[in-house]
Amino acid sequence: RIAAKVSDTLTVTTGQTGIVLDKGTALTKTPDGYALNLPGLTIDSPDGHGPIQLSEITVAFQPQPLTFIQEGQQSTPVVALASLNGTLTYPLAGGQSVTTDIKIHDLEIMAKAAWGEILETLSEGRSTTIDPRNMTFKPEDLRVNSQSITVGLHRDAARAVARVVLIHNESSVLDEASNLLEEAIAKKWLFPVHIGCNILLVKGDEELPFAAHVDQLKMELTDVSTASESPDCKPTLTIDANHTELHLQQGSDLAREMAKELSTKDPLSALTGLSSETDNRMKPELHSQQLTINLRNLHGEVSQSLTQNSSSHDVHQKLLTQNRHAKVNIQTVSFINEGLPACVFQLNGLNCHIKQDQQKSVTVNASSHSGELDLKSEILPLPTEMSASILNGQASAGYTDLNINLKRPADGAYLETDVTAVSMTAKVKDTLNVGDLKSGASFPNEMTMQASGTLFHCDKDKVFVSPQLQFSGNSNAVIIKDGLPIPFYLKTDAQIKDASYIQFSNKSSFSGNKNTTRVVSGGDYSIKDTIIGPAKINLLNLSMDKNLNGHFKADKASVDLDKTLQIMGKNKPVSWYTKLFLKKKKLACSLETPIYEGNIDLKRLKIKKLKFTPTTRASLLDRIICKALNWFICPILKHYCKLSTKLRPTSKKGKQKNQRNLIPVLSIKVGPFRARFDLPIPTSMIDHHSRRLSIAGALHEYGIQLIRPGYMELITSQLDAIRKGLPDSMEKALTSLLQFSKDALNTPDYSGAVTLMAQQWPLDSIAALLTTKTLPAELMNNLLAIIKLFSSLKETQVTALLLASTLKPQLTADKFQQVISDIPTERINDPLALALHYELTGSLRKAKSAYEELLANIPDHPIAGVRAACLLLAEAERNGDSDIITTAMNYLLKSALNGNESAKMVILAFTNSKDPAVRSYAHLYAAAWYLKTEKNQKDFLKAIDHIESTAQSTDAYQQALQLLECRQHNAQLIVHPPSKERSKGLQARMRSMNTYNSKTHSIPAADAYSLGVRMLYGADGIPYNPNQAMQLLQRASEDGDYENRTRLHLQLCNLVSG
């Protein structure tokens, strides 16, 4: 009989790790074997977030708790447990923790170690000699097997997951785990571990309706030590599971509760005139009553390649991570959501490989053999940025051989994405309705869209889409416009081949302005067997090659004139003679016209077929009229009808070339007869030089540029050369672009090419070059020529004026005025261009008014906000008006938060203003910016410095206190764990402070201030403790150097305690 009991608390310290065993721990003999009871066990966590606590632990051993098996020359001990029950509490950053209840049945532990044979000798009662100095206690291999493991989760587990997703953190969980792994291997703490479990159950309590069931779980940790002949190692964690099933009930409600519970108080709410960010756009009201996820045949592998750092002077050779790998292979993944929307999503043959190198650039390669999605929604609200407000109906989608490749560079500036598929299909299974009672559409069942090839490519500054598309349908459809349903029959088979859509993006880090240019090139667009309302088309084909040459062809197109008369009669009565000639007839035609450089030449239109056909309900008179039309009218139209387009002035006096005074006209000539009709289309759809219908002009009107690929490549390559910021390469690129603009002047895609050039213009590179040197004369002349080029088009005038403003410091006053005079006010129709023009020509009052009018419509406009603010602050420094200062600072802060670097620089510059009110407000708004964008401890400390610099005599002081109140409210929700070195220093200062205990007056003022601020706001990994923070800050305030710095913080302490 063996019995043991700990009558008092037992503390064991190994290195920096402390282990505390509570009193009452006992090992007793039972009828079934032995039982171990541990009221409490506390272990210091390796990450320094607090103690790991195990409580109410009961262990029941098997009747034979210790046996031995022979493996080669070694004897391996086997510990057998009938059950193990207890509660584990694991600490997290910020003073939070996760508590789990654990139940394990039939646990078997095998440890292969040098001391196995000694343990067997002792268990048999034989004597042996032990030399602890030469004994290795670390096992060579550990195997753990269990019949079942049950883990009980509480609501704090959901909170912990939500914190990882929602809370700002300087270092990722992956980085923290890597650092611990590097240290553990360097100090040779780890050993191979093999874990097996037949059944793993995870259950939540009433507040966490979550359950998971895993069959045949296996986990292995291998390669965790460096070999004697190599300093490197590659620790690998492998996970295998036969079947995994997860259930989450009312998941949407839980997610909303967690988001609300962990939501931070917006710093902007502390500022006058700036309400906290509230997104008024309608969000999709997704709801999940129950979400079920099934995974079959899961294999996962996570590895980390480590190498020794030869420059480290640590006793234990420092290990550095070279790269990380993660691989996941799953035979089948299925998601079933019961709620809104109801959907079933299944992926087959899923493979994913993630790599991260030493510079932390990440690549992801994912593929799936096939997948299916079935979706059914009754009433699903959509975001208001979408044209439709409600979606309901049933649809399905599927794909085969889908590949997704992602690449993110180390700086995380952009994400390069490639998505390809052999085929991807979307199908309406039941009528799909999009919209509401006022506007929308109803798509019929059996409508299908199929895509293949390059579905999506995205890199640093452009998005490229070039799939092969096919769209088909055959049913009734409805369009709702202004509350009136317009039913029509839709049958179609449309195809798009060899076409591409590219979206270029250019965001200036200096101004925060983002320009997006949408570009399409040639391609083959076909619509076959299509019926839309009264019209029927056998084949409609538009084809353009890389030079935008091709044809437009309509084969066997027909229209039911009876249905056309019905549609015409809904708007206004149709004349009797029109009805006489058109009723109960169909008109069929085939025609073809060439396309030259993106223009349709109607003069070369060939009508190959033109014929009227009576319907089955036609009378004898209708049939006679049909024959007459076919005998006399159709041959004349086929052979002698000539079409042309041109632009005519609105009046005889208005023959100038201003587009506002021109109207598009269609001219129809049949022999000596001529008729002209004004066309209700924009003037840009008529090419000014050739007078042809311009496809490029039509697309340009809707913000899409049709540009031949050769032009696109030339422009983008020269812009890339300018971005390098080298004078020689910049000058050559500018010369090339100017020559191109002359060569392409009369081409239809000229406007699109210049628009692409201007909207993607690298102003930042030119501004950066101006700060380092005076530009050579040739380079300056080329830039002035570019300004003149951009001034010629309304879409590019803003870039022209911004470039002129950038060059202004290196231009004489006369030269600058000459440049600006090339853009007269009457030619400007862009609000920002008009405001810029007023400012640059010295009309500051008009400029301020124009900027404010623009900001009234677009409050977050990054360029207008900064320029208006500078004008207002110049005025405020003269009269000290706090309302003007607040308005200006609000403009600047909004622009800064939208990525405008110059806005932030302006705010910081005004912290040195001679006017105390402007200076204090600048400090206040600089602090607000740092707290709003807080990513690390440095941001927090900079914000505190600015807040403490706010003068008590100004109106900004009270807002500074409210700003601190916001940060104090977020103390437990914004966590920036310190580095190990800084953490050691802070812990030493904390221990020193605890040594002083009640004698806070003995603590140095600097330490009292530093620790007090960190405790008040939960910063730098120090737990939030407002009461102790107040005592420390009161101590610091006794020192004259810290009296002013602590004033605001102590006022906040009084508010909190009150």
pLDDT for the residue 949: 94
Is the distance from CB of 521 to CB of 709 less than 8 angstroms?
yes
pLDDT tops 60 at residue 998 = no
Helix (H) or strand (E) holding 754: helix 750-759
Task: Find residue 200's DSSP bridge partners.
Answer: 149, 214
Enumerate the domain spans of the chain: 522-701, 970-1058
* Token pair 């066309």: residue: 679
Q: Which stretches of 912-984 are assigned E, i.e. beta strand?
A: none
d(CA 98, CA 202): 14
> Which is nearest to 889 in space by CA: 875, 913, 870?
870
d(CA 163, CA 921): 33
Buried b (16+ CB within 10 A) or exposed e, 979-992: eeeebeebeebbee
d(CA 1007, CA 986): 10
pLDDT band at 85 (very low <50, low <70, confident <90, very high): very high
d(CA 515, CA 911): 31
Backbone angles phi and psi of 45, in degrees to 5: -75, 145
pLDDT tens-digit series, residues 519-576: 998 888 888 877 776 778 888 889 999 889 999 998 888 888 888 887 777 667 878 8
- β pairing state of 210-222 and 236-249: antiparallel
pLDDT for the residue 335: 94
d(CA 300, CA 806): 54
Is the distance from CB of 1016 to CB of 1029 less than 8 angstroms?
yes
User: What are the structure tokens assigned to 104, written together?
Assistant: 């394990």
pLDDT tens-digit series, residues 276-293: 544 443 444 567 788 999
Dihedral sign from CA coordinates of 158, 162, 167, 172: positive
d(CA 433, CA 392): 5
Is the distance from CB of 404 to CB of 368 less than 8 angstroms?
no
d(CA 758, CA 788): 12
Which residues, in sequence order, are CB contacts of 523 under 8 Å at separation 6+? 496, 497, 498, 499, 500, 543, 544
pLDDT for the residue 838: 93
Query: Measured between alpha carbons, how far is residue 797 from residues 103, 755, 863, 888 in Å?
Result: 72, 10, 14, 26
Is the distance from CB of 7 to CB of 22 less than 8 angstroms?
no
pLDDT tops 90 at residue 851 = yes
Is the distance from CB of 91 to CB of 125 less than 8 angstroms?
no
Backbone angles phi and psi of 722, in degrees to 5: -70, -35
DSSP 629: I
Helix or strand or coil: residue 370?
strand
d(CA 1048, CA 231): 54
pLDDT tens-digit series, residues 165-196: 555 454 555 566 666 666 666 667 678 899 99
d(CA 191, CA 207): 38
Task: Find residue 515's DSSP bridge partners.
Answer: 506
pLDDT tens-digit series, residues 616-672: 888 998 899 999 989 988 898 888 888 888 888 876 554 444 555 778 888 888 877
pLDDT tops 70 at residue 798 = yes
Query: Measured between alpha carbons, how far is residue 665 from residues 130, 601, 679, 942 in Å?
Result: 107, 14, 5, 65
pLDDT tens-digit series, residues 18-34: 788 888 888 888 887 78
Task: Summarize the confidence of residues 30-52 as an average pLDDT.
Answer: 80
Nearest-10 crossing angle of helices 1005-1017, 1026-1037: 150
pLDDT tops 50 at residue 774 = yes
Task: Measure the CA angle with vertex 640, ends 636 and 642; round to 5°.
Answer: 130
d(CA 515, CA 736): 23
pLDDT band at 370 (very low <50, low <70, confident <90, very high): very high
pLDDT tens-digit series, residues 680-700: 777 878 877 777 888 888 888
Is the distance from CB of 721 to CB of 757 less than 8 angstroms?
no
Dihedral sign from CA coordinates of 575, 580, 585, 587: negative
d(CA 960, CA 270): 8
d(CA 560, CA 533): 9
Least trusted range by pLDDT, from 771-775, 869-873, 911-915: 771-775
Length of the chain as a residue count: 1058
pLDDT for the residue 654: 47
Is the distance from CB of 624 to CB of 618 less than 8 angstroms?
no
pLDDT tops 50 at residue 388 = no
pLDDT band at 225 (very low <50, low <70, confident <90, very high): confident
Task: Say how far residue 798 (Cα) sits from the centre of its chain.
Answer: 28
Which residues, in sequence order, are CB contacts of 175 under 8 Å at separation 6+? none
Task: Summarize the confidence of residues 807-830 as an average pLDDT.
Answer: 87
Task: Find residue 71's DSSP bridge partners.
Answer: 74
* Token pair 């206004």: residue: 572
> Which is nearest to 594 in space by CA: 584, 581, 583, 603?
603
268: exposed, middle or buried (Cβ count in 10 Å: 0-12, 13-18, 19+): buried
Dihedral sign from CA coordinates of 490, 493, 499, 502: positive
Helix (H) or strand (E) holding 721: helix 709-723
Of 167-171, 730-734, 771-775, 1038-1042, highest mean pLDDT? 730-734
Helix, strand, coil % (nearest 5) of the chain? 35, 40, 25
Which residues, in sequence order, are CB contacts of 982 under 8 Å at separation 6+? 1020
Q: What is the DSSP string of 588-603?
A: EEEEEEEEETTEE-GG
- What Rg do the C-alpha atoms of the chain give, in angstroms? 38
pLDDT tops 60 at residue 381 = no
Is the distance from CB of 538 to CB of 926 less than 8 angstroms?
no
Least trusted range by pLDDT, from 597-601, 802-806, 929-933: 597-601
Task: Find residue 299's DSSP bridge partners.
Answer: 240, 329
pLDDT tops 90 at residue 908 = yes
Helix or strand or coil: residue 514?
strand
Phi-psi region at 10: left, alpha or beta (left = phi > 0; alpha = psi -120 to 50):
beta
Task: Summarize the confidence of residues 1012-1026 as an average pLDDT.
Answer: 84
Residue 51, preceding peptide bond in cis (omega within 30° of 0): no
Which amino acid appears at position 585 of this protein?
A: K
Mean pLDDT of the chain: 82
Of 124-133, 664-673, 821-830, 892-901, highest mean pLDDT? 892-901
pLDDT band at 578 (very low <50, low <70, confident <90, very high): confident
* Token pair 């506002």: residue: 660
Is the distance from CB of 505 to CB of 462 less than 8 angstroms?
yes
Residue 341, preceding peptide bond in cis (omega within 30° of 0): yes
Task: Summarize the confidence of residues 989-1014 as an average pLDDT.
Answer: 71
pLDDT tens-digit series, residues 324-343: 889 999 999 999 998 877 88
Is the distance from CB of 53 to CB of 27 less than 8 angstroms?
no
Task: Say how far residue 913 (Cα) sits from the centre of its chain.
Answer: 38
pLDDT tens-digit series, residues 425-470: 888 776 666 665 566 667 666 678 888 887 878 887 788 887 788 7
- β pairing state of 141-153 and 193-204: parallel
Task: Say how far residue 569 (Cα) sits from the centre of its chain.
Answer: 50
pLDDT for the residue 166: 56
Task: Say how far residue 711 (Cα) sits from the centre of its chain.
Answer: 31
Helix or strand or coil: residue 226?
coil
pLDDT tops 60 at residue 389 = no
